[in-house]
Amino acid sequence: MMEVRRPTQEDVPAIAAIINAWIDETPWMDRDVPPEEIEAMIGKGMPQREMWVLGDPVEAYLSCEAEANHIWGFYCATPGQGHGKRLMNKVKEGRDFLSLNTHVPNSGAQRFYKREGFKPVKEFDPDPPSTIRELRMEWTR
C-alpha cells in the first residue's frame, strides 16, 4: 500500500505534472498559468503549506493552509482509486473544520467532497485571470 507522506523538493516536478495533466485534459479548464510556473509555485509554496502526497512517484497531492484550514490544491493522477480519500483523511486528522474552493463545472470533485462531508457554502467569481466560477465548500467534524 502506498504511503501518505510529506513531499520533498524532489517531488515537485511530479506534483506539477499531475496538475498540468489535469488542466490539459479538462475541456472546460483554461490554462492561465504556464506549466513551468505551476512547478515554481509548488516549490515556493512548500515551506508555507501543509502538503501531503501519496506514492513514490507521486500519485496524488494535497496542499492546505494550516492556519486557515483551507485546502488550496488537491489533485489525483488516477481518480477513483481511493487516493483522494486517503489524503483527505490525513488532512482531517486533528481538525474540526476545513474549507476549499472547487470549480463550479467540476461536478466529479463536488460529488467526492459531498461524500467526505463538505457542504456548499457559496458561489463566486474567481480572481483574474481565471474566468471559471468557483464554489466554496466547508467541512465540520
pTM value is: 0.93
d(CA 45, CA 90): 19
Take residue 124 and report the three cell numbers written for it: 463566486
- For residue 6, which phi and psi values (nearest 5 degrees)? -75, 140
pLDDT tens by residue, 32-52: 899 999 999 999 999 999 999
Report all structural domains of the chain as residue ranges with CATH numbers, in order of start.
Answer: 4-140 (3.40.630.30)
Take residue 34 and report the three cell numbers written for it: 504556464
d(CA 64, CA 72): 6
pLDDT tens by residue, 73-86: 999 999 999 999 99
Over the Cα atoms of the chain, what is R_g? 14
| Burial category of 122 from C-beta neighbours within 10 Å (exposed 0-12, middle 13-18, buried 19 and up) | exposed
